[in-house]
A and B are shown apart, each in its own frame.
Chain A
Amino acid sequence: MIAWTIYITFAGALLLLFLPQVFARWIALLTTIAGLALGLAAFFCTPITDLAHFTTIVRVPWVSALGMEYHLALDGVSLTMILVTGISAVSTVLFSWDVEYRQNEFFFWLLLVVAGCYGVFLSANLFLLFAFYELVIVPKYFLIAIFGSTNKEYGAMKLTLYSFFGGIFVFIGILVAYVTAGSLDMNQLAQFQFPPQLQSWAFPVLFLGFAVLAGIWPLHTWAPTGHAAAPTAGSMLLAGIVMKLGSYAGLRVAMNLFPQGFHMWSKWIAVLAVIGIVYAAAVALRQSDLKFVIGYSSVSHMGFVLLGLATANVLGVSGAVLQMFSHGVIAALLFAVAGRMIYRRTHTRELDTLAGMNLSRAMPFAAFTFVIASAASIGIPGFSGFAAEIIILIGAWKSYPLAVWITGAGMVLVAAFTLRALKQSFFGEAGAEGEVKKVAIVTALNREEFNPITLAEKLGACLLMFATLAVGVYPKLLLDRIMPAVEAMRFLK
């Protein structure tokens, strides 16, 4: 049944091409809601024991002579990813409710991204996984190149080329696996004993290829540029789901196939992850564009995911999966506030300019949302960010105590830049004495023009806030399903 998430989303995208514009956003909304509903149904109806293994749900021969199959499977990890995809997708459509420029096309590309992501998360055949993985690149490119804002051509190009660059390493890695083991079936490959010598070089090739998309330092530079250039919906999807494709595939494919290679390299991944966390947070502290701040914060948070994966124990890896969920929701929320609520109304993302506007009065709901999002992002207990990061750090403590110390310092930086962004964008009454007056006039003028926060935006924000709170308060909900699935993977020490 869960396989229908893919079909419905593709069907919705196709439908958008043929129906008139009036229906566009409704089709998109219904399609994404259907996807989320299917995910939730699977979440509540599938027995937890079934989620402990990568259980086949659909298996149709495709080009069977060559080991290519249309093979989908599900376990706790992929189900979590399906859920976050559904949640981000619905809220993204809600936050794109008033897109007017070439609406059909916009939602068409958007749904294609979502469908491709569903496909990656469910694929149990390497060929299929790669096909979906590459398929996501195209709609991403068009979303940014057509509908983007600041420097969109450059951002789209950079992101696409980085994706292709990573894709090529992935391609080589897949070929190595196929040629050595003679199968493309991920479950079979996960049983196969690759020679250690081969693993020692095949693992980094494959993992790095995937990690480009996850924003691993120093291959992260596409992320802030791409996020800033993308339209709001694009940034929400990019940060919310697409970056997870990289970390998910790194876990599912690279680590599962080449466990010994993973153990040889895990400490280097941890090093890169920690550098990423601290470095990106430090850079974010110095940004003046709100979207760049959030873009760098994404890189920093994805560093936690990588650190969790590098721990190679159940806790750390489960924490990483939880963090993928959590960051998907939080990043979507942050970008929604920055891109849709603030930028659409003030036409600026410069923190200094925003500081003079004192937006918390003009848009109390947006301010509330941003406070929640920031709190979740900083990792205040009660939000999903805290649950995930604490689990990752506990896991990391067993493997790399030093990394935990450094990361702890990094978390202070995360808090610092998030609070700075929060203060300047919403609560900034400070500013040079002389400027206050001028700014006040501007603010008054702007306030007249401000459209109130729409219902669609409120719904979208509430959905995301609910998700981060629910998981933050009761992480067991997801962890019960993630941990058995992680335990079944074979790279654990």
Chain B
Amino acid sequence: MITAIIFIPLLGALAVWVWPQRNCRVIALIFNAISAACALGLWRKFDATGTGMQFVERHAWIPAINAEYLVGVDGLSLLLVLLTSLIVPFAFVARPTPGGRGFDATMLVMQSALYGTFTTQNFVLWFLFYEMSLIPAFLLIKIWGGENRDRAATKFFLYTFLGSVAMLLSFLGIYFAKGTFDFSALASLGKNGLLTGKLAWLAFAGIFIGLAVKVPLFPFHTWLPDAYQTAPTGVSMVLTGVLSKMGVYGFVRLLLPLFPNEIKIIGPWLLVLAVCSIVFAPLAAWAQRDLKRMVAYLSINHLGYCMLALFAVAASPTVTANIDTHAALGGVFMQIFNHGITAAALFYFVGLLEQRRGVRGISDFGGLMQRAPLLCGWMSVAIFSSLGLPGLNGFIGEFLIFKGAFAITALFTSIAVIGLLVTAIVFVRTMQSLFSGPLAESCSAFPDLLRREKLVLVPVTLLMFAIGIAPQFMFNIFNTTVVHMTRLFG
């Protein structure tokens, strides 16, 4: 089943490649739909009360180095698989003009890599998929990007690649010391200290940097605004919606279980980094004139909340598995999903504005409420969801994160609350200058939402409301995993 999910997009990429140019988007969407159906099937059969991996498939792969083909899902993996199958199709639809089959094929390869990353439980295979996502992302920015794409693509590639190399070296070190690449085996070894002395710190630093670049965590974030700004709308949606989650996923799956002692020692410093992400990113967003860049900076802020809660759970010296750690970790998972759909929606809206006017500076728009009330209304929903307004999805995740993290580290969490305020200021200011005020002259012929666009937006917005009002169905996916993991970290 999982294998099917991973390889269907790859097949799709092949099919798109050989098919005539004209219909390639339809083909791509069909393959997307099939893999999404498989993911939904996985969700239906998933036993929400079972701990440990489910649907495990294990085959020998490279026996010489103990590398197996080992895939399986728990609540977290399932959540991310669902997120991937939700966001990627939207990225296809978000593209106004066909980018040709090259674009579609590349996107499908990336999707396959994402599925792979979220389901493999063996480092070698995981790393393969992890890297496999990097190249399509690079190509998508480099070939189909906007202004400055060469520089942005190179920067993105170099940052992530250096991070990956550091991570690979660390894992080789771990392998030579312990002789296994299996995540669960490593995690159980990690409880009593995986490595000792300098080697442990080196390995920790390597993996930390690799993942921190991917998330990104302050101060490893500088590639992000460039990359997100330049990438075409659909690619930005996938980058922020799914790709950034690979980093968070890596933290939960690798770093925290493998190095509990190291994290406890430098925990406060990690928390400082997370708080910096939360506070500085929206301040930077405040200063931006370009809407897309602004949304990109706010993305850093939202993932900062995830990092804050994760580090709080893992770094606290006296932590025990209790309701607070459950809340924090549950909040992180919730936030992963919420940020995926909300940030993707925001990028989609910025894309719509850009399509209509050809520019996307904040001051290029004004008084849109008069010309395009529907667009403004739906965009406000996305903005409020990102702002964390009750009744929408963002609130649940952030509330849980703050609730849990506050119990563990009150000081850092209190400072992080500033991030909420600044985000609010940035968004309110944006809405003000975009929607209200006198109608900008250049916007006089501004079309409202088209039917095609409504079709994309209605389901996503309904999902935001559904999660905001009755989040229980989401919690059911990962509740058991949360309990299991807090025990692991505690």
Q: Decide: A175 and B403 in contact? CB cutoff 8 A.
A: yes
Q: Please report which residues of chain B, range 288-341, place their CB below 8 angstroms from some CB of chain A when the two chains form the complex.
A: 323-324, 326-327, 330
Q: Decide: A161 and B424 in contact? CB cutoff 8 A.
A: yes
A368 CA to B471 CA, complexed, in Å: 53
Question: Do most interface residues of chain A lie in helix, strand or loop, or is the interface mixed?
Answer: helix
Q: Decide: B479 and A171 in contact? CB cutoff 8 A.
A: no
Q: Decide: B428 and A134 in contact? CB cutoff 8 A.
A: no
CB-CB nearest in chain A for B402: A175
Per-residue CB contact flags for chain B residues 417-429 toward chain A (1 = under 8 Å, else 0) read: 1101100110011
CB-CB nearest in chain A for B470: A62
Given the interface pairs A134-B390, A138-B389, the reply to whether A171 lies near B417 with Cβ below 8 Å is yes
Q: Please report which residues of chain A, range 175-199, place their CB below 8 angstroms from some CB of chain B when the two chains form the complex.
A: 175-176, 178-179, 182
A63 CA to B429 CA, complexed, in Å: 33
Given the interface pairs A66-B330, A161-B424, the reply to whether A172 lies near B389 with Cβ below 8 Å is no
B323, B396, B399, B402, most chain A CB atoms within 10 A = B399
A164 CA to B421 CA, complexed, in Å: 7
> What B residues does A62 contact at CB under 8 A?
472
CB-CB nearest in chain B for A119: B390
Contact of B326 among A65, A105, A127, A153 (CB under 8 A): A65
Q: Decide: B472 and A63 in contact? CB cutoff 8 A.
A: yes
Contact of B406 among A131, A157, A175 (CB under 8 A): A175
Binds A, one of B45-53, B142-150, B254-262, B407-415: B407-415
Contact of A66 among B369, B373, B400, B429 (CB under 8 A): B400
Q: Decide: A153 and B407 in contact? CB cutoff 8 A.
A: no
Shortest distance from the beta carbon of B403 to any chain A beta carbon, whole Å: 6
A54 touches B (CB below 8 Å): no
Contact of B403 among A146, A165, A168, A178 (CB under 8 A): A178
Q: Decide: B432 and A130 in contact? CB cutoff 8 A.
A: no
CB-CB nearest in chain B for A182: B323
Q: Decide: A160 and B428 in contact? CB cutoff 8 A.
A: yes
> What B residues does A178 contact at CB under 8 A?
403, 406-407
A45 CA to B389 CA, complexed, in Å: 36
A161 CA to B369 CA, complexed, in Å: 21
B154 touches A (CB below 8 Å): no
Q: Please report which residues of chain A, range 122-157, place their CB below 8 angstroms from some CB of chain B when the two chains form the complex.
A: 127, 130-132, 134-135, 137-138, 141, 145-146, 152-153, 156-157
Given the interface pairs A146-B436, A153-B436, the reply to whether A165 lies near B421 with Cβ below 8 Å is yes
> What A residues does B424 contact at CB under 8 A?
160-161, 164
Contact of A145 among B395, B418, B432 (CB under 8 A): B432
Q: Decide: A179 and B428 in contact? CB cutoff 8 A.
A: no
Q: Decide: B421 and A153 in contact? CB cutoff 8 A.
A: no
Q: Decide: B389 and A157 in contact? CB cutoff 8 A.
A: no
> What B residues does A63 contact at CB under 8 A?
396, 471-472, 475
Shortest distance from the beta carbon of B8 to any chain A beta carbon, whole Å: 34
A66 CA to B413 CA, complexed, in Å: 18
> What A residues does B435 contact at CB under 8 A?
145
Contact of A138 among B384, B399, B410, B425 (CB under 8 A): B384
B437 touches A (CB below 8 Å): yes
A165 CA to B373 CA, complexed, in Å: 28
Contact of B417 among A132, A145, A146, A172 (CB under 8 A): A172
B102 touches A (CB below 8 Å): no
CB-CB nearest in chain A for B423: A164
A164 CA to B391 CA, complexed, in Å: 16
A168 CA to B418 CA, complexed, in Å: 8
> What B residues does A132 contact at CB under 8 A?
390
Given the interface pairs A66-B326, A135-B390, A157-B429, the reply to whether A168 lies near B479 with Cβ below 8 Å is no
A157 CA to B475 CA, complexed, in Å: 35
Q: Decide: B407 and A179 in contact? CB cutoff 8 A.
A: yes
Interface residue tally on B, bucketed by range:
35 or more
Contact of B420 among A141, A152, A157, A168 (CB under 8 A): A168
> What A residues does B432 contact at CB under 8 A?
145, 153, 156-157
Q: Decide: B389 and A135 in contact? CB cutoff 8 A.
A: yes
> What B residues does A127 contact at CB under 8 A?
399
A145 CA to B418 CA, complexed, in Å: 25
> What B residues does A131 contact at CB under 8 A?
390-391, 395
Shortest distance from the beta carbon of A13 to any chain B beta carbon, whole Å: 12
Q: Decide: A179 and B324 in contact? CB cutoff 8 A.
A: yes
Given the interface pairs A66-B323, A66-B330, A179-B406, the reply to whether A146 lies near B389 with Cβ below 8 Å is no
A102 CA to B424 CA, complexed, in Å: 27
A171 CA to B410 CA, complexed, in Å: 12
> What A residues does B479 contact at CB under 8 A?
65
Shortest distance from the beta carbon of A69 to any chain B beta carbon, whole Å: 12
CB-CB nearest in chain A for B437: A153
A165 CA to B389 CA, complexed, in Å: 14
> What A residues does B428 contact at CB under 8 A?
141, 157, 160-161, 164
Q: Please report which residues of chain B, range 431-472, place their CB below 8 angstroms from some CB of chain A when the two chains form the complex.
A: 432, 435-437, 471-472
Shortest distance from the beta carbon of B275 to any chain A beta carbon, whole Å: 15
Shortest distance from the beta carbon of B334 to any chain A beta carbon, whole Å: 10
A263 CA to B337 CA, complexed, in Å: 44
Per-residue CB contact flags for chain B residues 376-399 toward chain A (1 = under 8 Å, else 0) read: 000000001000011100011001
Q: Decide: B323 and A65 in contact? CB cutoff 8 A.
A: yes
A145 CA to B437 CA, complexed, in Å: 9
Shortest distance from the beta carbon of B392 to any chain A beta carbon, whole Å: 10
Contact of B369 among A138, A146, A164 (CB under 8 A): A146
A165 CA to B418 CA, complexed, in Å: 9
A171 CA to B479 CA, complexed, in Å: 25
Per-residue CB contact flags for chain B residues 471-488 toward chain A (1 = under 8 Å, else 0) read: 110010001000000000
Q: Decide: B384 and A172 in contact? CB cutoff 8 A.
A: no
A328 CA to B205 CA, complexed, in Å: 60
> What A residues does B437 contact at CB under 8 A?
153
A66 CA to B324 CA, complexed, in Å: 8
A105 CA to B374 CA, complexed, in Å: 12
> What B residues does A141 contact at CB under 8 A?
428
CB-CB nearest in chain B for A131: B390
A172 CA to B410 CA, complexed, in Å: 9
A105 CA to B471 CA, complexed, in Å: 28
CB-CB nearest in chain B for A144: B436
Q: Decide: B421 and A145 in contact? CB cutoff 8 A.
A: no
Q: Decide: B389 and A134 in contact? CB cutoff 8 A.
A: yes
Shortest distance from the beta carbon of A83 to any chain B beta carbon, whole Å: 25
Shortest distance from the beta carbon of B410 to any chain A beta carbon, whole Å: 7
> What B residues does A176 contact at CB under 8 A?
406, 410
> What B residues does A157 contact at CB under 8 A?
428-429, 432
Shortest distance from the beta carbon of B244 to any chain A beta carbon, whole Å: 25
> What B residues does A160 contact at CB under 8 A?
424, 428
Q: 6 A–B contact pairs at CB < 8 A?
A: A135-B389, A161-B428, A164-B424, A165-B421, A172-B414, A179-B324
Give me the 5 closest cross-chain CB pairs, A-B, nearest first. Answer: A131-B390, A179-B407, A175-B406, A164-B424, A134-B390
- Interface residues, chain A, with chain B CB atoms under 8 Å away: 62-63, 65-67, 102, 105, 127, 130-132, 134-135, 137-138, 141, 145-146, 152-153, 156-157, 160-161, 164-165, 168, 171-172, 175-176, 178-179, 182
